[in-house]
Copies of this chain bind each other. A is one copy, B any other.
Amino acid sequence: MAQDKMYLTNDDMPRQWYNVAADIKQWLTPPLDPANAKPMDPSKLAAIFPENLIEQEMSVERWIDIPEEVLEALVVYRPSPLVRARRLEKFLGTPARIFYKNESVSPAGSHKPNTAIPQAYYNKVAGVRRLTTETGAGQWGSALAYATNHFGLECTVYMVRKSFEQKPFRKSMMNMFGAEVIPSPSDKTKAGRDILTRMPDTPGSLGIAISEAVEDAIAHDDARYSLGSVLNHVLLHQTVTGLEVKKQMALGGVKPDVLIGCCGGGSNFAGLVFPFVPDRLEGKKIRMVAVEPSACPTMTKGVFAYDFGDTGKLTPLLKMYTLGHDFIPPGIHAGGLRYHGMAPLVSILIDQGLVEPVNRHQLACFEAAIMFAKTEGIIPAPESSHAIRVAIDEALRAKEEGQAKDITFLLSGHGHLDLTAYDDYFAGKLHDYEYPEEAIATSMKGLPKV
């Protein structure tokens, strides 16, 4: 019988993260201080992040050791399998082979624990007692709740109020892992109280929740803030997935012809493709396709410029693809992809022509997700469905062209806590959003002058 699952043992776990900055350092740009647009002094970040993570954020070392304690925590669910989607191939009638790296097997149901675990560890080592963070749909909050529980830290999650009400089960999961979940805006912070005074009925936003979490961390000496995507050290931690995939490809005779990931802040995509960047730089033919929603086309319609990471203008300025920090994406169900910016490291690779950005509409992605669920038996998260859509499109193109090739995508998470979205799809309540041209044009005007 055909072997369709490539498992690795604990001994195959990567012992080091791969830092792509080492191989593209000639293109790196420094983060700028929001106060004066001068290169940021790392010490100014120390009230927000512990120094060991700030050091990682700035590092250009190619390989960074994974601490033993982090490895021990990762093997609870890692290495994750690389699986051939044979029934999906058959359904499509394609000569291409389709593989997926299944990150839905983690405690939070997504790739997010890959960075939540080391972040909790480094904070623990640095003497931090409590972590604060924000969460939208709840994937990141669940992951950090699990990781902080693992290392005996407390965890406070500011959850966008609308999601708090719409996705109660994500809150349940965070509670189960011992985190305190606060609907944002809240009366716990000045940022929250200010908003509540002005807009008592606001549904909240990720921008507001970030402000609350950062304020909470700065206000307490024993607390620090934790972010689930965008930053260099977050992408670094995610490279365990791509490093495993390389071993699994060697094991199963899979070629890295096309690698696909969905992109919100960029972390799952980066985790899959960064370890292949050296091969690409050596001239190997490897396509790296980053998929974003047509409703939030940061990479395909944005500009490569310095911008704030948040609406409240609290974060350092990062040079990245952006739609402007004031841009509020339409309410698509892939909440994790509704972000105005893109990780600087991913942005550089796009700018250099190494990464190929594409966008897809919501309905086509749901259609692909259901095809995948019916054939492969896993209901994907709405975010992951963007990667599936493009994998299917590539497989159909291979069929048209009568050409065999290997297509590998990262299944960033399952959709068990997103079934409302599927209900809405089946009920015909979802629609595609036009490219929000005017809103983007307006928000672009707010780009900081650097």
Contact = CB atoms under 8 A, between A and B. Distances in A.
B172 A422 contact: yes
A126 to B, nearest CB: 23
A160 B128 CA distance: 49
B426 A377 contact: no
Chain A's interface size range is 35 or more
Interface stretch (A47-55, A173-181, A347-355): A173-181
A3 B7 contact: no
9 contacts: A1-B11, A1-B72, A4-B10, A5-B10, A149-B374, A175-B423, A176-B379, A176-B422, A414-B416
Nearest to A78: B5
A417 interface: yes
Given A107-B377, A172-B426, 16 more contacts: A1-B11, A2-B10, A3-B10, A7-B7, A76-B87, A146-B377, A169-B416, A169-B420, A175-B422, A175-B423, A176-B370, A177-B373, A177-B374, A178-B374, A414-B416, A416-B417
Nearest to A76: B377
Interface of A: 1-5, 7, 9-11, 13, 71-72, 75-77, 87, 105-107, 109, 113, 146, 149, 168-169, 172-173, 175-178, 370, 373-374, 376-379, 414, 416-417, 419-420, 422-423, 426
Given A373-B177, A374-B176, A169 B1 contact: no
A377 B106 contact: yes
A109 B416 contact: yes
A75 B4 contact: yes
Contact of A173 (B9, B10, B176, B419): B419
Contacts of A173: 379, 419
A423 B109 CA distance: 19
Contact of A168 (B113, B374, B423): B423
For the complex of A and B, 6 pairs with smallest distance between CB atoms:
A107-B377, A416-B416, A172-B419, A169-B419, A1-B10, A7-B7
A336 to B, nearest CB: 17
Contacts of A75: 1, 4
A76 to B, nearest CB: 5
A71 B1 contact: yes
A35 B391 CA distance: 57
Contacts of A11: 1, 3
A422 to B, nearest CB: 5
A353 B77 CA distance: 38
A289 B293 CA distance: 51
A76 B376 contact: yes
Contacts of A419: 168-169, 172-173, 417
Contact of A77 (B3, B373, B377, B414): B377
A177 B51 CA distance: 49
Contacts of A76: 87, 376-377
Contacts of A426: 172, 175-176
A73 to B, nearest CB: 9
Contact of A1 (B5, B13, B109, B422): B13
